[in-house]
Structure 1
């Protein structure tokens, strides 16, 4: 069993017996790994937002907090697989941490039989990407939510770095690349900044009125833009 499958299985095991605890030793024997490995796995799940807590004492162990545990979700296998694939495509996006946290939470409340079948199918699906890192600073996702101005250092296609103050307006994803769409105060116009070329980003704490973002203003000449979420449209 690989680590990803074990993380899913750990959550399901704790969910099945909640609020009763399972010791690290008991879990280690079940999954045929060391107690230290189990403790690292549980720590990773906790940091991703899964509501696991430790109960001290000789009969204690790790519990999935029943006060924060939903009933099993009624996803079909196809629906659960679609969610897993969708969240997996965000691994190079500014929303990667939130996507992985959301995935762990979905796993925590998904029916065990469906989850097992979904995990097996997901193991047969792979995403083809480039060798270069496409990860963008986490501050980009935070800025879109808060509406705060960012001070960024951007490397253009010629390798020249510039410092700019920008007002985040949205994102455009293309393959494994993600572009921050923002009003650039240096150029006094709308600009698209490729995420992996933004080497630094920090909030200035300023929250100006949010500018409208119209598809026609983006000047896309190749391909079609598609909105995400309910009622998505193409243009």
Structure 2
């Protein structure tokens, strides 16, 4: 419990620093509500940020005032967890593979820095993950017209199960509108822009199936591990695809 609480506080301090830099003056009450802690906890956090981290936190006691980090100060080095760094690296790889003409100038440099921050075993793991993320053709107009917003509360367990190679339980709404409960193994992700699919082994059907991510209504993680099946076991949702480089 102590380790979890320490990690939660460190993460909260990082978020507070970014928030106080990006936004205008914030009140302690607003910050406490945003982070779901007490006013006293936020006050202690701010004192630690001043005394231990040396952050120049300004206070405006006037009407409508509050606190913020001095405007001429930068947040400093970006601190990412391994999972966050992997997400960013894969997002860069997706953008590069799609050859978007905008905002690509510094992506190669950012990618190199991220890769350099990984140990050799983690670099190998990232390469294996990238081989399981596939880019296909742009989704048809028919598919795009039926696309809904993905529920992030459902996508997060899917994301974790994909990274950890553990099965997840989902509620899925089929094209017909029928909702079913499944337990799936997320082997591959396919982007047929702008629609994401998961190529999965459906344990209920004992067969490989394709699920549209925006049709996953709910998901819960399990601790049941699985081994990756060959891509040839799955049918692509639309046309062909290729792995990230």
TM-score range, shorter chain: 0.3 to 0.5
> Which structure shows the higher strand fraction?
2
- TM-score, structure 2 length as denominator? 0.45
Higher relative contact order (CA 8 A, sep 6+): 2
- TM-score, structure 1 length as denominator? 0.46
